[in-house]
Chain A
């Protein structure tokens, strides 16, 4: 069965600093991986997705993520944090077998950005 682990429920960075949000997955089949962002009082918005085409995936708002099969990781990065990046971020993997099509989510990482 697929699963996702996000390391760190809260991450705090200064404005202009590197953002690194960690995600490790478990999957018995080639995974399809996603990062979503949730701003306060809003739904989830797709940041980027990995579907096996390229290991480095670029998303919206300057975010990118690198798929590393050997480390079973899909960490999200942004070179320079902006105040508007403060939100909760979720990593997800698509299920397989009977649950194919369902997204399985990590528990989320809340990002704070200090001025």
Chain B
């Protein structure tokens, strides 16, 4: 089983709809992240959480919100999806300090 699990893996939704992407982890890490990947732009940070009570905006948080339901769960919501939010979304986790992040398999979201 994957250590960082994202659901759904693929989703097509209509403009204006609310959608939630979910992430759960079994690594026991306190820190969790949501990134967005667009071709030619690399990965950009949307939100991050250093523990259950600590949530912070990243580089591109507009149009997104998050919820840290538990140490192991971190959800990303698009309140009213728009076509330019079509992208590949990644959840990641890490320990505190200067360590690497561990990534889920990604959610491919298409907004039509």
Contact with A along B77-106 (1 / 0, CB 8 A): 000000000000010101011101111111
Whole-angstrom CA separation of A44 from B88 in the bound complex: 12
With A43-B104, A101-B50 as contacts: A107 and B40 at CB distance below 8 Å: yes
CB distance from B6 to the nearest CB of A (A): 8
Is the pair A44, B31 in contact by a Cβ cutoff of 8 Å? no
Is the pair A102, B58 in contact by a Cβ cutoff of 8 Å? yes
Chain A residue at minimum C-beta to C-beta distance from B106: A43
Give residues of chain A (62-76) contacting chain B, Cβ–Cβ below 8 Å: none
Give residues of chain A (48-62) contacting chain B, Cβ–Cβ below 8 Å: 49, 51
Chain A residues near B94: list those with CB within 8 A: 101
The count of residues in chain A whose C-beta lies closer than 8 Å to any C-beta of chain B is: 22
CB distance from A52 to the nearest CB of B (A): 9
Is the pair A102, B100 in contact by a Cβ cutoff of 8 Å? no
Chain A residues near B74: list those with CB within 8 A: none
With A43-B103, A51-B98 as contacts: A102 and B45 at CB distance below 8 Å: yes
Whole-angstrom CA separation of A98 from B69 in the bound complex: 23
Is the pair A46, B31 in contact by a Cβ cutoff of 8 Å? no
Chain B residues near A102: list those with CB within 8 A: 33, 45, 48, 58
Is the pair A90, B42 in contact by a Cβ cutoff of 8 Å? yes
Whole-angstrom CA separation of A9 from B41 in the bound complex: 10
Contact with A along B4-41 (1 / 0, CB 8 A): 10000000000000000000000000010101000011
- A residues adjacent to B (C-beta < 8 A): 6, 9, 32, 34, 36, 42-46, 49, 51, 90, 94, 101-108
